Each structure stands twice: as structure tokens, then as C-alpha cells.
Amino acid sequence: MYRLRDAGYQAFLVGGGVRDLLLGREPKDFDIATDAHPEDVRRLFRNCRLIGRRFRLAHVYFGRDIVEVATFRASEDDADAVDESLVLKDEDGRILRDNRYGTIGDDIWRRDFTANALYYNIADFSIWDYSGGVDDIRAGILRLIGEPDARYREDPVRLLRAVRFAAKLGFRIDPATEAPLSHLAATLEAVPPARLFEEVLKLFLGGHALPSYELLRRYGQFRQLFPAVDALLDSEAGEPCRALLLEAFANTDQRVAADEPVTAVFLFSVLLWGPVRRRAAKLEEQGESPVQAMLLAADEVVDTQQRHVAIPRRITTPMKEMMVMQLRLQKTRGRRVLGMLGHPRFRAAYDFLLLRSLVGDAEPELAEFWTGLQAMDADARSAAVETGGRRARAGEPAGAQPDAGASVEPASKPRRRRRPRRRKPGSGAG
């Protein structure tokens, strides 16, 4: 901001950074608004990169941190700024391209919510508030700037942003802002699936997944993002899926609060598990093996899902591995069981199994077996997999007897080795 100011430009800290500072929270990132054009910003900062076709933005890189710099945008009714080469809308009023530049007085009316429309001025360390954002923050109200129906149609992603900010901040949505959230949910179909993927990550991996999910379901927006999951939730067979999602979202929020890692792979595995498992069961009835049925079902569900939220292959590939491993984790006997502990996806698959066992979607004994197996030494593990995990309890010696009343499956008889057959000359071996 100081470099922009020293070069003769206005520069303000704007948006969520100002809002979070007023709320006593640590800002996740910082955005700058300026009257300098993107090309001017790039000229001042060698570590700058211009992005975006819909809105031209400058990203200034400081190590791993990115500061987003946006030029003041012209107001909607600025007749002098109207240029068909700079602004483009579709027939529903959705903005496809808009690179018209204006003043800070114009820019305020292009922002979405009053709480995000505050400008911090480094000239005198004051906050410029044109829309009553400071009062709304104090009152805990989320209010859209302008006429809500038109603003949502300009950019339907604002529907999701309303849900995200209400969930994240714990704000009450203003009645006029809330009214269109349900009947305009279908406009999300016009948003590119790749953009919705980014919004889903913000909704569910930011520490407020559970309240976000509940609001998305309330306003019918979850149906637009995950139609197959939503249909299952509303069916009679949807109870395990409902319980799994609630438990997973609550667990994710706890991990974020504890500064523990959360991943998109785990998120989408949980979200799509219900439809995948249901489809896999039907494929098994048609004669497919359990593993093949799971893989085919995952492919079908993901292919359909891509039309709504585009999930990159870097996520879908390990996600399918996690789902198949739910089948392999059902086996507790044999030396191959020990090999599962070294699998790159084991920890994530094990966490998923624990989650499923909590809601009755997997046997608790299975989760206990894998929990105990990880705590054992090598000898105890070898003994445990010989008995199918009947002795798989942390710290129990390999030769210990099972609890009274516990049934132990007989150990498999040692296989008799076959003598290798002598190959005939000319058999083609080699």
C-alpha cells in the first residue's frame, strides 16, 4: 500500500481483512483496492502476476503469501463507462466480463455485503464506511448491498457466499438478503463447475463445515452442488449417510480449530460415499466382485458429479483408493493384513473407517482391531493376524489368551509345498 501511495495512487486495505480485524480475528488474507490499473501494479511490482478474465486482478507474491490488488470498479449506472468491449452479461443478468474502472465511490456499490465493504486508509488510519458496514458488524447482521435479487443474478456464487459468511461469522442474515436464497438456488447451474469446486472447499474446509452444510440444505443449495447426495439424504435409506456427514463435518471443524490438517480427498470421500456405496451394492447384485463394483460405482458417481462440481483427478484418484480400502480393511487374517499398515492411504482410510464405525456404518470391532494393531510390536501383530484379530488389543502379549467367552477361529493349516515341475525343452519359458 505504501509503495502504491508513494507512486501517486490511492491504496486501501479492503474486505474481509478489515472485517476480521474489527471482530478481533486474525485475517486469513489481505486484499487491496486502488485506483492504479492492473498494468500499473505490475509495473511497480516485479513479483506481480495478472489473472482473471471476468475481473482483471493483480496478484503480488511475497513468498507463499499472495496479496490481491483490485482496481476500483465503475458503478453499474455509470453511462460514461459503458463499453461493450469491457462489460458482458448473459440473458439472465449474470456478469460474464466487467473490466470497467472507476473511483472508490463507485467501487463500494460493486461489493457484495456491507461487512465486506470497509476501506482502511493508511493516510490517516481511518475506516471509510459508505454502506453502514461497521454498524452491521456490531449488530451481527449480514446484509447485501443493493437490490438482492439483481445482485444474486449478477453472480450466483453470492448465494454461497451468503451462506459461508453467515456460518463463519455467526451472523444473522438480513431478511431481504435471505429471501431470494432458496428460489434462486437453481441459478447456480450457470456457474462453471470448476469455480464451484473452489467455493465448496471454502465452505467445508474453513472451520465452519457443519453450519454451512445445514444452511445449504435449508436453502436448497446443497441440491445444486451434490444432487445425488441430496437425493439420498431425502430418501428412507439416507439415515447412515446423514449421520456420516454430520459426524464428518463436526470432526473437520474440530480439526481446523485445533490447527490440525484437513484434506479435500477426505472431504469428497465422505460426501460421495453414500451414492457410491449404494451403486456398488447394485453392481454386486449384477455379479461384479466387491472391489470391481466399488471402482465402477465410484467412476459413475464422480462422472455425474463433475457436471455440478468439478473435482480434479488429483483428488478423485486417492478418493477411490480410500473407498476400495474400506473393503480391504474388513479382512483381519493373513500376512497381507500387515501390508496394509504401510499403504500410503492407510491413515486416511483408517480415519474414515473410525468415522463410519461411530455412526453404525461399519462394525466397531473392525475399528478396534485396526486401532489395536497399530499399537502392537511386530511379534504381537503377527500373532494377531493369525487369529483374525481376536487378540488385537494394544499391549497384550502375543501368547495371551482371549477373554472368557470370546470365540477364536481355528488357525489355518500350513500349506504343503508343491515340488516345482521340470519344464520340458522348447516350452517357451524364458
Q: Which residues are catalytic?
A: 29, 31, 112
Q: What is the DSSP letter of 144?
A: B
Distances 111 to 59, 80, 161 between C-alpha atoms, Å: 19, 20, 12
Q: Which residues contact 406 (CB under 8 A, 6 or more apart)?
A: 390
The closest alpha carbon to 136, from 178, 171, 177, belongs to 171
Residue located via cell numbers 460405482: 297
Residue located via cell numbers 502379549: 397
For 139-178, give one letter per residue: b (16+ CB within 10 A) or e: eebbbbbeebeebbbbbbbbbbbbbbbbbbbebebbeebb
Distances 110 to 37, 74, 131, 230, 369 between C-alpha atoms, Å: 17, 8, 12, 33, 57
Distances 364 to 82, 154, 172, 290, 359 between C-alpha atoms, Å: 64, 49, 40, 21, 10
Q: Which residues contact 166 (CB under 8 A, 6 or more apart)?
A: 142, 172, 173, 211, 215
Phi, psi of 119, deg, nearest 5: -120, 120
Which residues, listed in sequence order, are joined to residue 32 by a DSSP beta bridge?
Answer: 13, 69
Residue located via cell numbers 437490490: 147
CA 258 to chain centre: 18
Residue type, 40: D
Q: What is the DSSP letter of 265?
A: H
* CB count in 10 Å sphere of residue 85: 7
Rg (CA), the chain: 28
